[in-house]
């Protein structure tokens, strides 16, 4: 699918930004007006135009709030948060120290926090104890009744943020009677930017403290914990569920069995050999050439070096080898929904590998391109994704039999 751009990466990220319109994260006219001023693959124009749109919409929200227009303020601030996140997406030359990237990321967090304070359902910023520090999170509650409810524990992915969780799952969950506890883990959002903690493959070390915290909350039903993994979170959540057995269900959006294998598919054999042999002096110049001709490759490799704490592109790729469900998937014992996107080139075949390795009750659902749901994590088809995921959860948590399929 191409959406407003021929450049594959620009197309997908624009679809991602626009797709959150389902839950108030964008206005289609704003997206189109922004995109038409950006040239194919022009990362400077991308930042400039999305930043301008974010600032303009942020201003609308601030003025509405000052005038006492609560709903208008909330709607504008939600859109501004998504647009600020989108603006800094390709800023990966030195993201840890780049004041532009840091400033835009901070504004995305600030505008979301301001919008959250204006929501009609309770939203609480929380700090989850984790290895001598804390993980920032949001607890989205269906209402203020204090009733115990099933709760989705949301694990995001390779480039996601805590604030994105509202559009990706929380808004849909609240409509259906589920609370959501979303968090940034190592390698993600504010934990990466402010605490400088990078990804780790043993994600059970992250999820177990999240579960521990969830069980301290009277609004969360202990027998209704659902772990939801989004993008790279499809691996992270599955790995955690293999060791954390207090979960009622697991949703993988989408299934990811072997992260290194997904990279190797796009590398010529000689490069794979050089990477394994530690010939970084040869790998880096060749990778540099690949990065010049592909926006997607350039962004993904630079983001990987940063979020994995790697010394180089080759070092990043070697580190991905630890992110595998080999020998682990069989330990998952809760009912599991594995989602698959027909047009997802990077994850192609991975959901099927997850399915083949599972021994728990499980269901595999492939959402097709013909329905507009074939892109990675089903971007642009959020209503369809949530229908599938939450209808399955409703049935599963009600105790209905779910045979392997």
Cis peptide bond N-terminal to 254, omega within 30: yes
- With H, G, I as helix, E, B as strand and everything else as coil, classify residue 332: coil
- With H, G, I as helix, E, B as strand and everything else as coil, classify residue 225: strand
- Minimal CA–CA distance to 229: which of 255, 211, 195, 247? 255
Q: Is 231 one of the catalytic residues?
A: yes
- β-strands 179-183, 249-253: how paired? unpaired
- Please answer whether residues 154 and 230 qualify as being in contact, where contact means their C-beta atoms are separated by less than 8 angstroms: yes
Distance CA 63, CA 278 (A): 56
- Minimal CA–CA distance to 324: which of 258, 380, 395, 243? 258
Distance CA 145, CA 157 (A): 32
Question: Distance from CA of residue 11 to its chain's centroid?
Answer: 17
Distance CA 230, CA 168 (A): 8
By CB neighbour count within 10 A (0-12 exposed, 13-18 middle, 19+ buried), where does 405 fall?
Answer: exposed
Task: Tell me which H or E stretch contains 251.
Answer: strand 249-253
- Residue 339, phi then psi, degrees to nearest 5: -95, 150
- With H, G, I as helix, E, B as strand and everything else as coil, classify residue 191: helix
Distance CA 133, CA 186 (A): 11
Distance CA 219, CA 231 (A): 28
Catalytic residue among 231, 294, 312, 405: 231
Let me know the angle formed at the C-alpha of 293 by 289 and 298, rounded to the nearest 5 degrees: 80
Could you list the active site residues? 231
């Amino acid at each position: 699918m191409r959406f407003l751009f021929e450049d594959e990466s620009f197309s997908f990220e624009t679809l991602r930004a626009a797709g959150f319109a389902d839950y108030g994260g964008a206005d289609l006219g704003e997206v189109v007006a922004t995109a038409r001023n950006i040239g194919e693959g022009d990362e400077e124009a991308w930042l400039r135009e999305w930043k301008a749109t974010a600032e303009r919409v942020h201003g609308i929200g601030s003025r509405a709030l000052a005038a006492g227009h609560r709903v208008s303020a909330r709607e504008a601030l939600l859109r501004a948060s998504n647009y600020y996140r989108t603006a800094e997406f390709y800023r990966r030359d030195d993201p840890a120290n780049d004041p532009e990237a840091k400033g835009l990321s901070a504004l995305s967090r600030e505008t979301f926090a301001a919008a959250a304070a204006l929501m009609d359902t309770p939203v609480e910023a929380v700090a989850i104890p984790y290895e001598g520090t804390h993980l920032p999170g949001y607890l989205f509650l269906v209402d203020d009744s204090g009733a115990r409810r099933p709760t989705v524990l949301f694990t995001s992915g390779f480039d996601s943020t805590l604030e994105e969780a509202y559009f990706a799952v929380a808004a849909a969950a609240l409509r259906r009677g589920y609370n959501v506890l979303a968090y940034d883990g190592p390698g993600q959002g504010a934990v990466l930017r402010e605490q400088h903690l990078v990804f780790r493959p043993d994600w059970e070390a992250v999820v177990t403290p999240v579960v521990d915290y969830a069980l301290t909350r009277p609004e969360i039903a202990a027998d209704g914990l659902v772990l939801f993994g989004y993008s790279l979170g499809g691996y992270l959540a599955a790995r955690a569920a293999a060791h954390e057995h207090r979960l009622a269900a697991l949703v993988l959006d989408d299934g990811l069995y072997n992260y290194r294998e997904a990279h190797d598919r796009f590398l010529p054999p000689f490069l794979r050999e050089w990477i394994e042999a530690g010939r970084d002096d040869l790998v880096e110049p060749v990778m540099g050439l690949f990065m010049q001709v592909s926006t997607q490759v350039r962004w993904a490799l630079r983001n990987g070096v940063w979020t994995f704490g790697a010394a180089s592109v080759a070092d990043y790729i070697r580190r991905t080898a630890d992110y595998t469900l080999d020998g682990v998937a069989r330990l998952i014992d809760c009912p599991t929904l594995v989602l698959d996107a027909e047009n997802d080139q990077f994850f192609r075949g991975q959901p099927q590998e997850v399915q083949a390795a599972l021994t728990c009750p499980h269901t595999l659902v492939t959402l097709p391109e013909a329905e507009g749901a074939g892109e990675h994590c089903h971007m642009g088809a959020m209503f369809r994704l949530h229908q599938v995921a939450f209808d399955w959860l409703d049935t599963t948590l009600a105790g209905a039999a779910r045979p392997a399929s």
